Each structure stands twice: as structure tokens, then as C-alpha cells.
Amino acid sequence: MPRPVWSGAITFGLVTIPVKVVPATENHSISFHQYHRTDMARVRVKKVCETDGRTLSVDEIGRGFQTPDGDTIEITEDELDAIPLPTAKAIEISGFVPAASIDPIRIGEGYYLEGAGQVAAKPYVLLRKALERNAKVAVAKFAWHGRERLGLLRVKDDVLVLHAMKWPDEVRSPGALVPGDVEVGEREIEAAVTLVDSMPATEPSAFKDEYREALEQVIAAKSSGTAPPEAVPDEEPGGEVLDLMSALRQSLERTHGEEAPAGREATVHELPRRSARRGSAKGATGDGAARGTSKKAVGKKAPAKRAAAKKAPAKKAPAKKAPAKKSGAAKGAAKKARSPASTVKKPAKRSASASTTKRNTRTDKSA
């Protein structure tokens, strides 16, 4: 535990509890020094008199108040100590209120109260048990750092805790920040409530300072002469959603997407036709593949007939060469399709066409 920063006593009624005030929190932020970039020399802040330009020591520096006229009135430490303030060395409890009645914005830094000596043990435990029994907190006043402050006493792990509080006039009114007249539908409110209920309930103790950990890694890497770790790119934020209901619906879908609720049915999507034709060309089996291949073969027979008719308009025998060319077109279509089904169904027709071609050729030669 760090050393006490203040010592005095808690008083309520005629009960006095000698205590020492110990800081309850500590700062783990990484602090930097300023350096001259040219020679890496330390840059320090000096307290210099603006009249003679001389650097002053702590003993030469006093405290004063400047009036609106520009005059400076010196206030010494002895004069501050002589101020007739009943709370100068005491945390004087003024009353007890429910904890829920205290606005959290007024609560400041916290300090543990340690009983000073054995004489403080019994009244210390008595006050702690009284606060636990009626589930209330104590409102007190105390003087610290040259001014009187408002405080709050509560119990944490069998120890009394003192919180410095803001005075009522130190809290600004948020009235000017309230949005104008806005209508919110009942469906939107219900969706927002559902989103709040569906999000995980994370305790504050589960959080950690990730920025400080990353900064420590950078410092350790540079001190060892290695490259600092690369930053992990954040997910790109989604587009701006102008519809509040759509934003709530998308938020709910994203929340349920991390932990999908049981019993959700799977969805079936039909494949695009283009990919289906590509699949049949690669060798898909079945009636559909056979039909697709036969259609291609039939579709390429027509050009073969026209070509044959143009080449032999006068003779009847050469006109019968069309089936031979038709067979060649069918063979080419079958090779492109590479389908086992079409290869099985068409061999008889191709051989018949081939034999017809051979007979026509013999007849042509004999003629």
C-alpha cells in the first residue's frame, strides 16, 4: 500500500474514529518525456521570473490571488492553516442517504480509510456495520488541499472508502444538450430493448487497457532493436444506415449471428444457370446432361445441310453427301461436350451414316 496522503478523524455524533487516508487507485498510464530531436537531450520546464528572467527554486515561490484590478495579494501557508474551519482535520459526517440518490457524475476519486491504531478498531467496525445494515452511504465534509470538500463514505470489502464529490454548483446543467422534439415509435423502442437484452452482460472487471499493452509492446520491441508489431486492420464500418429500424434489425442479426439460436432452419439457394451449364460441359452425368448434349448436336446439323446444298446443286448423288458432313458435325459436337451419356446413345447412328457415306462414294466412282 502507498503511504497515507492525509490523516485525521471521522466524526459522527460524539463518535470519533482516527483514520489515515490512502489512495485507492493508481495510474498505470505510460508517461513520456520531452526530448530535443537533434541530440536527444531532455527538455525540462523551468519556473522563471518574468521580471528578472531568473530561474526560481521551490522556496522562492509563493502563493497569491490576483484581483480584477491586477493587484496580487499574497496568501501564506500559515494563513491557510489559521482559517477557522471545523473540518480541517476531520471528516465530518452530515447525514446518511440511499446510494441510489447520489448522481454518479458527482463522485470523484476514491481513497481507502485505514483505522489509525487500536483505539480506532471498534468505532471503525461499528460505522461499517451500520452502513451495511441500512444499505446507505454517508455524506460528509472535509478540508483538503486548501479548500473544503464534499465527500461520500461507503463500504467496499469490509473497508471504508471516501470519495471526493462535486458541489451541486460545480455540475453543469445538461438542459441545453437535450435533443429537440423527436418521435420514437413503439416498435423501435421494443427493438432497442431486445438488442440491449441480447447483448452479453460483461462485468467491468473483465475489461483491460489494450492500448497500454500495445504501447508496452512497441517500447519493448524498439528497446530490443526489433520492428514494432504491425497493427491489425480494423473491420471497415458498414455504410451509413439512415433508417433507425433497419439499424436495430441489423444489430440484432449481428448479435444473433455470433451465437445462432437453436432451431433456426437452413436456407437453400438455387444455383445460377450459367454455372449449371458449365458443370454439364465438364462431364455431368444424368438425363439433363444427355439432353443438353443432344441439343447441341442437333443444333449444329442445320449448317451442315446448307453447306452441302450449296456445293452440289446439280447432281443428286453428291447431294447425299450431306449425311456424311452431318456425321462430322455430330462428332465435333460430341467431342466438345465430352459427355459419357451422349457417347453411349449415338454410336449406332454415326456408324450408319459412315456406311452410307462409303456406299455413296463407291456409287459416285462407278458413275
User: For the chain, what is the mean pLDDT?
Assistant: 73
Lowest mean pLDDT: which of 112-121, 188-197, 341-350? 341-350
Q: How far apart are CA 213 and CA 231, in angstroms?
A: 13
**Which residues, other chains included, contact 145 with Cβ-Cβ below 8 Å and sequence gap of 6+?**
none
Share of the chain above pLDDT 70, in %: 65
59 torsion bin: left (phi>0), alpha (psi -120 to 50), beta (else): alpha
CA distances from 140 to 53, 104, 132, 172, 325 (A): 45, 16, 17, 22, 109
Q: Which residues are registered as beta bridge partners of 66?
A: 72
Cβ-contact 188, 248 below 8 angstroms: yes
pLDDT confidence of residue 342: 42
Q: Which amino acid type is present at position 199?
A: M
User: Which residues, in sequence order, are CB contacts of 86 under 8 Å at separation 6+?
Assistant: 92
Beta bridge partners of 35: 42
Q: What pLDDT is recorded for position 166?
A: 92
Please write the tens of the pLDDT for every residue from 27-47. 888 889 999 999 999 999 999
**Model pLDDT for residues 124-183, shown as the tens digit of each residue:** 999 999 999 988 899 999 887 767 889 999 999 999 999 999 998 999 988 888 888 888
